[in-house]
A = this chain, B = another copy of it.
């Protein structure tokens, strides 16, 4: 018996031109769209007979039905999307760890975290782009939106805006992370150990001023009222730049350096050693971020250990804020910084 190809029995090879909707499921199951919705959402208020439930589930599975999030949240008037602009700075292990912990914690609370790639959008323009997605909350790392941006987000339904940065913005919750404290701790440490002419490495790379400027400010603050001085040392993250800096080291007359972070510290340490400068004998050196690599250097690198807020705490804050959008914005300093004294200082 010859098998005649039946178009309706072979939907597989040629993909259907558009996604199946709940109406398709309803048709196939021989019920109404309402019933499909009830069944698929396990509506507690409505009782659906077991045979019907099965028919609906079978139809949905057969069609490969996937609900349309946009339609759903349009109807519902809200979503459970937490939007985070993708950071403009290169994410190190600290931030990566924080982020994945946060995603996990928000996921447990049934929120969906979405990192939005806002390239080249600035200020209110960025806020508007985020607002188009109608997130229930917005978490902004780094330089946050201005007060107008926050207002835009709230007017378009964001029940919480949280900034993670150096300054609080009106109307938004603020987890204050002023990196000045990092520079302050580092340089205070150096001063306490008797150093007086202190260099502060400033990365030449773009996107880092956001951290380096406050760290420098903190360093300046730490020498206030002492006879110690701070000197800026621009440095690109490459060997030759470090070598050039090391070559003119004697002329700088420094007896200590706070190197922005452990990576720049490592770069500089190697260059200094190659140039015959003894660390910490001639020049004390301290980094920041407490990366594993610092522990492995010779001498072991002193550093400033950072304590970021826990993802769980931040998730809880978001959840609280979402439930009570009217509450006064929280404003909390969350950046812990403690010196880890090892061998280089």
Contact between chains at B156 and A19 (CB < 8 Å): yes
- Contact residues in B for A296 (Cβ distance below 8 Å): 239, 266-267, 269-270
User: Is A123's CB within 8 Å of the partner chain B?
Assistant: no
Given A66-B128, A114-B117, A103 contacting B90 (CB threshold 8 A):
no
**Residue among B69, B74, B263 making CB contact with A132, cutoff 8 Å:** B69
Q: Which of A52-94 contact B (CB under 8 A)?
A: 64, 66-71, 73-74, 77, 79, 86, 90-91, 93
Given A15-B154, A74-B71, A155-B16, A104 contacting B119 (CB threshold 8 A):
yes
Closest Cβ of chain B to A196, distance in Å, is 28
Contact flags (1/0) for A144-156 with B, using CB distance below 8 Å? Answer: 0000000110111
Task: List the number of copies, as a whole number.
Answer: 2
Which one of A19, A71, A77, A298 has the greatest number of beta carbons of chain B within 10 Å?
A19
Q: How many residues of A contact B (CB 8 A)?
A: 60
* Alpha-carbon distance A267/B291, docked complex (angstroms): 12
User: Is A20's CB within 8 Å of the partner chain B?
Assistant: yes
* Alpha-carbon distance A99/B99, docked complex (angstroms): 16
User: Is A120's CB within 8 Å of the partner chain B?
Assistant: yes
Contact between chains at B132 and A293 (CB < 8 Å): no
User: Is A341's CB within 8 Å of the partner chain B?
Assistant: no
* Alpha-carbon distance A154/B11, docked complex (angstroms): 13
- Closest-by-CB residue of B relative to A262 is B293
